[in-house]
Structure 1
Amino acid sequence: MKALAGALCAATLLSACATTEQEVTVPLVEVPPDYATDLPPSGIDRDWWLGYGDPVLDALVRQGLAANLDIDAAADRLGAAAALLRAERSDLAPSVDGTAEAGLSVTTDSALTATAGLFGLFNPDINGRLAAEVRAAAADYAEAEYFLADQRRIVAAVIANQYIEYRRTGAQLELLEQSTDLQEQTLRIVTLRFEAGLAANLDVRRAAADLAQTRARRGLIAIARNEAENALAVLLAEPPGDFAVPDAGEAEIPDYGFGPPAGVPADLLRRRTDILAAEARLAQAAAEIGIERADLRPSLTIPGTLGIGDGTLGGLFRDFLIGVGAALDLPLFDGGRRRAEVAAAEFETQARLAEYNAVFLDALGEVENALVAIEAYQQRSDALADAIEESETALSQSNALYREGLASLFDVLDAQRQLIASRQSLIDSDAALAASHAAFHAAIGSD
């Protein structure tokens, strides 16, 4: 027993001294002190989609975050990672297994035989391998946790984008009705003038062709609207075809009423969940170096047994046999395999570091692109609003001149086309502006 106590003390000391923890310093890539644009801050960060002021969108996002299947899968993987982390931590504690055996000895003196016992094993982790495995499992758990949060970030943004597309197509359908009415009025006027001998049949054909072109757009808009609605159904774990977007009233593009939150690039991006997940993968790779380096050091296991009985059924609880030992494994020669595995783990860590920096740069690019898009589409929408006002005036004047015979139908149709095109472009620009706000919040990792 004294020898056993000495072995345990030595193992404890060796375990305390041994460390395989690999420190990895993440050199942040250079980031600009400010973003490329100067937009007013909003203060809105969590539940950023509330900035649209659209209760239908709010309900869809909340339903999606609760029911989305990708989020469910990520949550289950987080549960699996938590279980594996508990399993790795359990290896630091002693394990005990029980055994029992019974049989019939067929001899001249046949008798029942029975034995029972306990088998225990303790690994004091003198080479630090178990601790490194725990760190690797903890990093896997952290990555799974960040991945779950990242799925929520992505799902919220995609739902917002598909809803914006659904509203965009609704606005396009309303505009199509207005444009059709406008062109039908023009066709009636041209037809009356033709019947009165004041216009050529060519003018009637031109007006009819423009009307047919406008009507032909309905099918394409309907396809896009149906695709957006079906995409929303999938995101909300609803069967496409049976799902219908709740009535949103007038088909207007959601207008984001706030600017982006204040902050500098590095501060905003350090909380983005895919960056944090990449950092966790880097930590896991560093832990793998520790696991491989542990194999270069001696390892110690301490087995113990407790046998009960002398082999006979009557003596099952009469005799006891206790045995404790120690097994020391000394790595001597393996042809360089262990050191090669350490080198492979070190190269993998460097690869993970490069991937981390790549993820960071990609995220920075997404933020910059979204900010530039917000500013550009806002300016475009303002300009298109002016263009619509001017086109409406031009169309009104050309119609009046045409009735007086002072302008050709070509002038009327050209002004009409410009007005319709400007209205269509404004709808697309407003939708792109709304989507750019969603892209910005997704890029900075808003909750």
Structure 2
Amino acid sequence: MLRKAVILGCSLVLAGCATGAVDVPRPAAIEAPAAYNSDLPPAGLNEVWWRAFSDPVLDELVARGLSANLDIEAASDRLRAAEALLRAERADRLPTVDGGAEVGVETGDGGSRSTASAGLFGSFNPDISGRLGAEIDLAAARYAEAEYFRSDQQRLIAAAIASRYVEYRRTGAQLDLLEESTDLQRQTLRIVTLRFEAGLSANLDVRRAAADLAQTQARLGLIELARAEAKHALAVLVGEAPGTLDIAPPTDNGSPIPDYGAGPPIGEPANLLRRRGDILAAEARLAAAAAQVGIEQSDLRPSLVVPGSILIGDGSMDGLFSDFVATLGAALDLPLFDGGRRRAEVEAARAELDASLAEYRQSFLLALGEAENALVAIDAYQKRADSLAEAIEQSETALDQSNALYREGLASLFDVLDAQRQLIASRQSLLDNRADLADAFIALHSSAATSIGTEAAEAEAP
């Protein structure tokens, strides 16, 4: 005989139960300046900023870095993890069903018999407290943060590769300049030595000239060290072991340092809020903090769980399908007294929300400061370049005149050496200024996040 029984157990306390939308304060909008304080560089047709250097070697290095850098790879992996966790949180809105079966043997005075039973067990949370919805919002915010963090890693890696490449080119140019300087000082030493041998100058002059030459040659090791460090840093940035990266020689464009042409438009300061991955990540953290407030507020409301089960079998193998039992219940958890703990946790979450808002605003101000500093630096280095070029021209003339006067005995060796030092220093300063100007353009486009990682601004959670 088939027996059917349906048992409905409900433990409901509904008095005073109230639900509603989670009260989450909305952050005030950031007021961005209408324009930068300095003039923007002219924009060109280059789609990405580093191509404005017109250096195929740099283009290749950045492309390799964006595809093989391990920091970007780690950020991509964490993005996949955040996406999976978001799917998991969304799955909590659906009913859960598990199955189970049991088979055994019972022994007693009457002998032994086989037993069997099977069933389905499930539950459903209608989320009357709003907790599940807030947890989904939190997971979505963390997914967005992971997406923006990956975008920011791309921005930083591209800038780091370009900056290290400029340093690599700077040190290469410094080695060439060092060779020119030592050749110049060797010529002076040869002249002084001949004059000493002819009795026209003192041995002190020879020693002074030799000391200046040795001082210049002593810079060789430091420049080679800096060049090796720049090359090793580039290797790590493109995902290779230091010492294994081969960098093609630069194309001859008439300058030892890649000159910046015209890149993508910088845009207005407000674009930082839509482009910079770190600012967008800070905004996502702000959304996560708001969602956490919602989670803590949900603990102040009742929560409801609807469990159920279906069991078949009377315990014997022969009667596996002879008995059927279905149960459905509803359990309501109504918070009554906790000594103020839940409200204290809400207050703490609101304080964290305020802190996240301050950090969000601070991240924008820091980014704005980086862009303003880069613009000022570009203007300063461009103006300085003209003065340094003039200084080199005057130093070359002064050196030629001092050498001529020294040969005629009308000037001292000190005058010659001083003119040499000024010429070498001016050439070095112009070389450094070119590299610093290139770095300033890199910093500007990195701070403005132009043409790299901007797609994350429109990214939506899956």
TM-score by length of 1: 0.94
Per-residue deviation at 1:245? 2.1
Q: Conserved in 2, the CA contact under 8 Å of 1:41 and 1:262?
A: no
Letter in 2 for 1:124: P
1:25-66, Cα deviation, whole Å (9 max, x unpaired): 2331x5433222113331467521101111101101110111
Q: How does 1:329-348 map to 2 (within 5 A)?
A: 329-348=333-352
Letter in 2 for 1:290: G
Partner secondary structure for residue 201 of structure 2: coil
Per-residue deviation at 1:194? 1.1
Per-residue deviation at 1:195? 1.0
Give me the identity figure in percent: 65
Cα distance 1:269–1:184, how it changes in 2: closer, same or farther (>3 A)?
Answer: farther
Q: Conserved in 2, the CA contact under 8 Å of 1:105 and 1:111?
A: yes
Instruction: Name the residue aligned to 1:412.
Output: 416
Letter in 1 for 2:199: G
Q: How far apart are the structure 2 equivalents of 1:155 and 1:434?
A: 16
Q: How does 1:127-138 map to 2 (within 5 A)?
A: 127-138=129-140
Q: Conserved in 2, the CA contact under 8 Å of 1:21 and 1:132?
A: no
Q: How far apart are the structure 1 equivalents of 2:311 and 2:383?
A: 85
Asked if residue 199 in structure 1 is aligned to residue 201 in structure 2, the reply is yes
Letter in 1 for 2:289: A
Q: Conserved in 2, the CA contact under 8 Å of 1:20 and 1:129?
A: no
Q: Find the partner of 2:184 among 182, 185, 190.
A: 182
1:358-408, Cα deviation, whole Å (9 max, x unpaired): 111111110111111111111112211111111111111211222222222
Instruction: Name the residue aligned to 1:153.
Output: 155
Instruction: Name the residue aligned to 1:240.
Output: 242
Q: How far apart are the structure 1 equivalents of 2:89 and 2:33?
A: 42
Q: How far apart are the structure 2 equivalents of 1:18 and 1:117?
A: 37
Q: How does 1:360-375 map to 2 (within 5 A)?
A: 360-375=364-379
Q: How does 1:17-166 map to 2 (within 5 A)?
A: 18-20=20-22, 22-28=24-30, 30-43=31-44, 46-107=47-108, 108-166=110-168
Q: How far apart are the structure 2 equivalents of 1:259 and 1:414?
A: 42
1:181-233, Cα deviation, whole Å (9 max, x unpaired): 11101111111111111111111111111100100000110111011111111
1:335-369, Cα deviation, whole Å (9 max, x unpaired): 11110110010000001011111111111110111
Q: Conserved in 1, the CA contact under 8 Å of 2:34 and 2:268?
A: yes
RMSD (Å), alpha carbons: 2.2
Paired residue total: 440
Q: Conserved in 1, the CA contact under 8 Å of 2:272 and 2:367?
A: no
Q: Conserved in 2, the CA contact under 8 Å of 1:43 and 1:262?
A: no
Instruction: Name the residue aligned to 1:318.
Output: 322
Gaps of 5+ in 2: 453-462
Per-residue deviation at 1:311? 1.2
Q: How far apart are the structure 2 equivalents of 1:25 and 1:212?
A: 64
Q: Conserved in 2, the CA contact under 8 Å of 1:19 and 1:127?
A: no
Instruction: Name the residue aligned to 1:442.
Output: 446
Gaps of 5+ in 1: none
Q: Conserved in 2, the CA contact under 8 Å of 1:295 and 1:338?
A: yes
Q: How far apart are the structure 1 equivalents of 2:143 and 2:23?
A: 18
Instruction: Name the residue aligned to 1:283.
Output: 287
Q: Conserved in 1, the CA contact under 8 Å of 2:313 and 2:323?
A: yes
Larger deviation: 350-359 or 246-255?
A: 246-255
TM-score by length of 2: 0.91
Q: How far apart are the structure 1 equivalents of 2:259 and 2:330?
A: 72
Which runs of at least 4 in structure 1 moved beyond 3 Å after TM superposition?
A: 1-4, 43-46
Per-residue deviation at 1:267? 2.7
Partner secondary structure for residue 111 of structure 2: coil
Larger deviation: 101-110 or 118-127?
A: 101-110
Q: How far apart are the structure 2 equivalents of 1:268 and 1:177?
A: 45
Partner secondary structure for residue 300 of structure 1: strand
Instruction: Name the residue aligned to 2:223.
Output: 221
Q: How far apart are the structure 2 equivalents of 1:26 and 1:87?
A: 31
Asked if residue 394 in structure 1 is aligned to residue 401 in structure 2, the reply is no
Partner secondary structure for residue 164 of structure 2: helix
Letter in 1 for 2:387: A
Larger deviation: 70-79 or 234-243?
A: 234-243
Letter in 2 for 1:49: W
1:246-279, Cα deviation, whole Å (9 max, x unpaired): 2225581111112672422123443211000000
Partner secondary structure for residue 110 of structure 1: strand
Partner secondary structure for residue 312 of structure 1: coil
Q: How far apart are the structure 1 equivalents of 2:342 and 2:426?
A: 69
Partner secondary structure for residue 326 of structure 1: strand
